[in-house]
Structure 1
Amino acid sequence: MSGAPAATALAVHQSHDPARLEALAPEWSALVDAAGVPSPFLAPEWLLPWWRRFGGRRALWILEARDGAGRLEGLLLLASRPALPGVRRWQLLGNGITGADGLDLLARAGAGSAARAAIAGALAAGGWDLLDLEDLPFGSPTAAVLRQVLAPGGVDVEARRRFACPGFAVRGTFEAHVRRMRRRETYGRRVRWLAKQPGFRIEVAAAPDEAGPALEDFLRLHRLRWAAEGGSYGIPPGSVEDFHRDAVPRLAARGWLRLYRLLVGDRSIAAVYGVEAGGTFHYYQSGYDPEWSVRSPGMVLVGRTIEDAYARGLRYYDFLRGEEPYKLDWSADRRELCAVRVRAPSFRASAAVAADGAWRAARGAARALAPERAWAALQRARRGLEAGAAAPAAAEGRA
């Protein structure tokens, strides 16, 4: 491949050595803070545990954009993706399995254009057939820069919408927010009833010494919530739960963890796992005891996390991917995620894309024939297999 990289003063250093990922952690963490709107899903607190748990037999590709003084200005982290024999296929580190949103090239505020141009120029040298950059913020300049730099060499860059992420700007008061809520009367009744129960309280785990026990309680409630439907797709037992056991103490040490639990007496009946960074609360997952479902403890606890966001002066509340009704009850707007596929002008790349098309057609036909419940069970089983396939290699020494 050949392209015409934009002129830039940044040099790109590349590595495939996993040890480099650990060595980068201090600079990488500082770059997250310098990015303007830090995303916890691009931080070492999230991605180092991801690599240790799911790196498995994947290859790693690190591209660092540095200025003349050696300061890290941009970072792109890629992991190899299973593909047809001989096809060199890469995805963003952290994509899949744990459902991280807003993945992208990480750049220092004010240096994004130069960092993207420099890294795109390095990619123009080849070494890949397909780049599957999924779950980028829709409208990310990364796609446009890749197209500008790589298209002259015959590379195809295609972007498509992927998921919607409901949310809202935290402006005004919580009371005004509730008045706009469609189910405000139901919410009010549930809050009043639960508040009268002996021992009712909300606890928030944020410190490292609180994180472990609170997470185990959350995982228990999450499993209970999904048991009747065959198990959770978001956090299946096994290596995905273990990933969160690795990540949560790191998030807490960084000051980003907000793990809420609603208790009645000495028993927690609902939990919300949130990550708060850069003035944004990211609603990651939840769980509740189905025995209490008629009292809607999940709804009450979500409301309390939102009330807390107002009280803490946050900027934005992000429900992340998925337009479930309980999210839409509270939301006023939404962000979108996109998938950017970058295809080299090679037979291998074309064959892989054709195989993808055939797979999607077969998958669509199977889904049309299978009952929804059976299809969901198959999806959960596939996700569990993906996660489990990485676990043996992680146990062999990546941790």
Structure 2
Amino acid sequence: MDISVYRPGDLSAAERAAWTALQSKAHLNGSPELANPFLSPEFTLAVGRTRRSVRIAVVREDGEPAAFFPFQRTAAGVGRAVGLGVSDCQGLVHRPDFTWDARELLRACGLAVWEFDHLVEGQTPFEGSASGAFPSPVMDVDQGYDAYLRQLRAHSPKFTRTTFAKERRLGRDAGEVHYVHDERDPAALRTLMAWKSAQYRRTGRSDRFAHPWINELVQQLFHTRSEPFAGILSVLYAGGRPIAAHFGLRTERVLACWFPAYDPAYSKYSPGLILHLRMAEAAAADGIAYLDLGRGQKEYKDSLKTRELIVSEGWVTRRHPVAFGHRAHRVPVRALRNAVLSRPEFFEPADKILKRVGKIRSKG
């Protein structure tokens, strides 16, 4: 393999265009999962403006780009997926039938280890190092919104009926319900981020928006617009007031759901569910094939999904002291977290404790 490693700003316009072309043709080449926005050059470049450790490996065959591998690297050679912790899809974007040797790639990138937690399906050279695989629910709208609704009614008739009834009641109680699929007002984004921060604190979770680089990344992506890629802020209004919002990323065929939140004062109307159905309708009209709800066990995802993708987590390593040390530190933490999340007898008590802590933090 002919592999060159670049800083994000050193990637040429021709190389960026080649990367985008691989994503645009992915569904035609039997790898539709490679069209995910988190695998786009725009996402990697945005993370690169907030994290100096971002690098991009370009693999060439016969002088032409055949694959792009974005990653982050420490001085010691510890590698991570770009945006690990906020990225919901990771891997190598490549030509059809392209094969690679994972350890040869790591060596060329100066990595002793590469860690991932949302590895996309079909990355065989990396999948052998995965320690676990997890469902990532999706909402298929490639046949149109009406077809999606028919499938939803067949799968969850009570859920569908109740959600639409709540939307009608919301309109009667709070005023006309209005939806904006691509809201460009930065004030609406600030409202969403404030709701999400409050939700994290209320439920005892770590507040992602307490990290300046995540704040900066989201705001950058909100203003990012190219022909195949955009940051999309969707807002549900009632009586002229925003009551639910979502910020995600879109390519030509995939809308990646990322940061949903709502005003708790309207929780009895399930505004988040209403918002997701409106998003599905608008996405179908825009030619989107599916909405990726992201890895994680949530009741609302089970209600909305039509199927599931699979993402993996783990480490690709070379025989190197740094790799051994990193695994020894990270494996127990990952194993404990996954055990808690996957088993109701562990998760439910832990979730209750987190929510009690969240109440104390919110009062303070």
Against the structure 1 CA distance between its residues 200 and 349, is the aligned structure 2 distance closer, same or farther, given a 3 Å change threshold? closer
Against the structure 1 CA distance between its residues 121 and 362, is the aligned structure 2 distance closer, same or farther, given a 3 Å change threshold? closer
1:328 is displaced (CA, Å) by 0.7
Match of 1:73 among 66, 71, 77: 66
TM-score by structure 2 length? 0.78
Distance 1:249 1:190 in 2: 33
Aligned: 1:322 with 2:313: no
User: 8 Å contact 1:131–1:342 — kept in the other structure?
Assistant: yes
- The farther-off stretch of 356-365 and 271-280 is 356-365
Secondary structure in structure 1 of the residue aligned to 2:233 = strand
Correspondence for 2:196: 222
Distance 2:122 2:17 in 1: 29
Q: Map 1:164-179 to 2 at 5 A.
A: 164-170=135-141, 171=143, 173-179=147-153
Correspondence for 2:2: 11
TM-score by structure 1 length? 0.72
- Per-residue Cα deviation, 1:96-150 (whole angstroms, up to 9, x for no partner): 2x2x122111113x2533xx35x75454568432222331124423326xxxxxx
Distance 1:377 1:48 in 2: 39
Aligned: 1:50 with 2:40: no
User: 8 Å contact 2:103–2:316 — kept in the other structure?
Assistant: no
Distance 1:205 1:364 in 2: 35
Distance 2:205 2:329 in 1: 30
Secondary structure in structure 2 of the residue aligned to 1:269 = strand
Aligned: 1:91 with 2:88: no
1:47 is displaced (CA, Å) by 1.5
Secondary structure in structure 1 of the residue aligned to 2:288 = coil
1:326 is displaced (CA, Å) by 0.8
Distance 2:278 2:213 in 1: 30
Q: Map 1:22-33 to 2 at 5 A.
A: 25-33=16-24
Match of 1:203 among 168, 180, 188: 180
Larger Rg: 1
Correspondence for 1:297: 271
User: 8 Å contact 2:229–2:252 — kept in the other structure?
Assistant: no
Q: CA RMSD in A?
A: 3.6
Q: Map 1:108-257 to 2 at 5 A.
A: 108=95, 110=96, 112-113=98-99, 116-117=100-101, 121-123=104-106, 127-143=110-126, 158-170=129-141, 171=143, 173-180=147-154, 181=156, 182-196=158-172, 197-205=174-182, 210=184, 212-230=186-204, 233-236=207-210, 238-251=212-225, 254-257=228-231
Percent identical residues: 22
Distance 1:361 1:203 in 2: 41
Correspondence for 2:362: none
**Unmatched 5+ residue regions in structure 1?**
1-9, 145-156, 380-399
**Unmatched 5+ residue regions in structure 2?**
359-364
Distance 1:215 1:243 in 2: 13
Against the structure 1 CA distance between its residues 128 and 214, is the aligned structure 2 distance closer, same or farther, given a 3 Å change threshold? same
1:233 is displaced (CA, Å) by 4.1
Secondary structure in structure 2 of the residue aligned to 1:186 = helix
